Amino acid sequence: MTDIAFQSGLGAADAARARVLRRLRLGDAAFHALTRAAAITVLALLGGVILALLEGAIPALSKFGFNFITTERWNPVTETFGGLAPIYGTIVTSLIAMVIAVPIGLMIALFLTELCPISLRRPIGITIELLAGIPSIIYGIWGLFVFAPFLQQYVQPALINTFGSVPGLSVLFAGPPYGIGVLTAGLILAIMVLPFITSISRDVFEAVPPVLKEAAFGLGCTTWEVFRNVVVPYTRVGVIGGVMLALGRALGETMAVTFVIGNAHRISGSILAPGTTISATIANEFTEAVGDIYTSALIALGLILFVITFIVLAAARYMLLRIERRLG
Amino acid sequence: MAQTVQTAATAARTRLYSGRRRWNAIMIVLAWCAALFGMAWLALILGALLWQGLSGVSLRVFTEMTPPPGADGGLLNPIIGSLIMTGLAVAIGTPIGILAGTYMAEYGRYGRLSSVVRFINDILLSAPSIVVGLFVYEVLVRPMGHFSGIAGAVALAIIVIPVVVRTTEDMLLLVPNTLREAAAALGLPRAYIVRRIAYRAARAGIVTGILLAIARISGETAPLLFTALNNQFWSTNLNAPMASLPAVIFQFALSPYNDWQRLAWTGALLITVAVLALSIIARALSSPDKS
């Protein structure tokens, strides 16, 4: 009797236990599946972006074909669209930004890792990183009302006077000082990407094994020689990765550029002249675009921008992964 | 004879050494200048914002609608619009981001899917935000037939997701495995270990990520231009175009009217203060973990 009661009690306990365990297992599997679905959503987002842009770009791309990226004519009235001017502007402004920001960014990283008093390192590092946090529209409004007039009054006349008569360079600095233009956009982009270059190169410089640097100092190298011949070669991949990441940012930057580039659909040899970039063209014209072909041409520009930045950013990430593996 | 050769060699060496030292000094000075140069921009931009924007800050900014040109007004409708869309974007983006980060750190830490998602996520993190706007235009605005606040919120959510994924994963990876093992030894199922142990240990970091994401989207303009568009009037209807601070700044700053431009500066000051405050709070939250 007691035996049976005991056994059935045990059976009930077992059953309850099994029920609880099953519930937990189900909950576990459900949570696993949920997180997995979220991870796949991230992939789907990228796929969705590419598909949606492709779909939107097809009318323009099939109408203009390869000419879309080789011709300059952008005429909404006759509905002929060629994206060469914005593509050119995107590349030139980003190049100007890189030429200025890379050396300065690296020097700031050198300063932060080797020269700066320890107690100032964090505050100065944060100050520079806050630059990265300022929204691009703020750079835009500041660039338009403060920076561009300053350039127009002081910097551009000086550039024209200095280089205007130098053969070769005179083309670059031809024309009146508008204030706004390709150079101004490039300069603002340089300020915007500076923090990215600085913080990534600082991180990789800090990860250089001290033994390497100490050995070089022991041989009598100066601080600069250690930096130039030990730190930079050791971290080259990481630095290039950081530079590419900054380049990706510069290529796709929209609002700041839209404010100061002047939005002119033409290619000019002079960097003082107004121009346009892919992102500025889209930002300016998209809501005003009438007709399917016009909209589609703008989306096609967006697709080209996305493909370019995707390649640049993928290369950047690949290089940063490599340096991470090396530095551990 | 031998002596003169030696002194000549010494002299050459001294010259070489002083040349190297001079070069070193030049570079060190340049590095100092570069650092000052970098910090100067922040000072210049903040200075201009305070100078131009502070005079326009008054109670009216927070209580009145955007004016027609030539009239007085405030920024109430864009402020509310920005708050609504930012809140909604965080509500949509954060759960997806946290769950995806959880998968990568807890379930598939060494799996193929995780490394692919990590790579793609890092690219989305710096992808041009205007492309996100085009994407949402194609999948939401065009089928719906009109611009809407909800489309703006979705565009912002797409920018939130990668930021949150990244910080969640990083922070969960910092949680020591011994904690998980101790919980597992008590018989806790995996889902409980993640939710009750790992999330709790990584909470400060995850909140930091969310704050950084809010800071990031509160100034985003490009994805809103052709999703939420803009609205001169008071509207909390998510199915209609909605005003936002960045879009109003864009419109007003490029207008020829003085009072609109002044309001744009005031709006710019508000956004910058909000963004800087958020990033400083986020840093303060995360710094104890680092040290």
Residue ranges of chain B whose pLDDT lies below 70 = 1-2, 287-291
Q: Is B76 on the interface with A (CB under 8 A)?
A: no
Task: Give A201→chain B minimum CA distance, Å.
Answer: 14
CA–CA dist A95, A100 (Å, integer): 9
| Interface contact A141-B268, CB threshold 8 A | yes
**Partners of A80 in the beta sheet?**
A75
The CA radius of gyration of chain A, in Å to the nearest whole number, is 28
Eight-class DSSP state of B109:
T
Interface test with A, best of B50, B86, B138 (most A CBs within 10 A): B138
| Interface contact B221-A135, CB threshold 8 A | yes
Task: Give A314→chain B minimum CA distance, Å.
Answer: 7
Q: Which residues of A touch B20 (CB under 8 A)?
A: 222, 225
Q: Which of B95, B121, B138 sits opposite A56 (nearest CB)?
A: B138
In the three-class reduction of DSSP (H, G, I as helix; E, B as strand; rest coil), residue A318 is classed as helix
Q: Is B106 on the interface with A (CB under 8 A)?
A: yes
Q: Which of B30, B44, B100 sits opposite A35 (nearest CB)?
A: B100
Q: Which residues of A touch B131 (CB under 8 A)?
A: 49, 53, 252, 302, 305-306, 309
Q: Is B230 on the interface with A (CB under 8 A)?
A: no
The residue in chain B having the minimum alpha-carbon distance to the alpha carbon of residue A302 is B131
pLDDT in tens, A58-113: 999 999 988 899 998 998 888 899 999 999 999 999 999 999 999 999 999 999 99
Residue that has been written with the tokens 């793609």 in this structure: B120
Interface test with A, best of B26, B94, B131, B197 (most A CBs within 10 A): B131
In the three-class reduction of DSSP (H, G, I as helix; E, B as strand; rest coil), residue A81 is classed as strand
Q: Distances from the Cα of B245 to the Cαs of A261, B69, B149, in angstroms?
A: 22, 17, 13
Using the CB atoms, write b or e for A270-292: b if 16+ within 10 Å: bbbbbbbbbbbbbbbbbeebeee
CA–CA dist A64, A82 (Å, integer): 8
Residue that has been written with the tokens 């690949």 in this structure: A318
What is the rounded end-to-end Cα distance, in angstroms, of chain A?
68
Q: How many CA atoms lie within 13 A of B62 on its CB side?
A: 5
The CA radius of gyration of chain B, in Å to the nearest whole number, is 27
C-beta neighbour count of A20 within 10 angstroms:
10
CA–CA dist B121, B116 (Å, integer): 8
Dihedral sign computed on CA atoms, order A108, A109, A112, A113: negative
Contact partners, residue A193, CB within 8 Å, separation at least 6: A97, A98, A101, A105, A246, A247, A249, A250
Continuous segment of H or E residues that includes residue B96: helix B76-102
Per-residue pLDDT at B288 = 56
Instruction: Give the global pTM.
Output: 0.91
What token pair was written down for A144? 């338009």
| Interface contact A39-B100, CB threshold 8 A | yes
Dihedral sign computed on CA atoms, order B51, B55, B58, B63: negative
| Interface contact A134-B126, CB threshold 8 A | no
Q: Distances from the Cα of A165 to the Cαs of A96, A268, B195, in angstroms?
A: 21, 18, 69
The residue in chain A having the minimum alpha-carbon distance to the alpha carbon of residue B250 is A137
Q: Which of B39, B120, B226 sits opposite A127 (nearest CB)?
A: B39
Contact partners, residue B41, CB within 8 Å, separation at least 6: A131, A191, A194
Chain-centroid distance of CA A252 in Å reads 6
CA–CA dist B219, B227 (Å, integer): 15
Per-residue pLDDT at B291 = 40
| Interface contact B108-A110, CB threshold 8 A | no
| Interface contact A35-B134, CB threshold 8 A | no
In the three-class reduction of DSSP (H, G, I as helix; E, B as strand; rest coil), residue A80 is classed as strand
Question: Please, which residues 240-269 of chain B have a Cβ atom closer than 8 Å to chain A?
Answer: 246, 249-250, 253-254, 261, 264-265, 268
Contact A187, A261 (CB under 8 A): no
Q: Is B225 on the interface with A (CB under 8 A)?
A: yes
Residue ranges of chain A whose pLDDT lies below 50 = none
Task: Give B100→chain A minimum CA distance, Å.
Answer: 4
CA–CA dist A33, A31 (Å, integer): 5
A258 φ, ψ (degrees, to nearest 5): -55, -35
Q: Which residues of A touch B119 (CB under 8 A)?
A: 314, 317
Q: Is B161 on the interface with A (CB under 8 A)?
A: yes
CA–CA dist B268, B52 (Å, integer): 10
Eight-class DSSP state of B65:
P
Interface test with B, best of A40, A111, A260, A287 (most B CBs within 10 A): A111
Contact A259, A187 (CB under 8 A): no
Q: Distances from the Cα of A60 to the Cαs of A49, A63, A263, in angstroms?
A: 18, 5, 21
Interface test with B, best of A45, A223, A228, A281 (most B CBs within 10 A): A45
Reference A235, options A200, A265, A264; nearest CA is A200
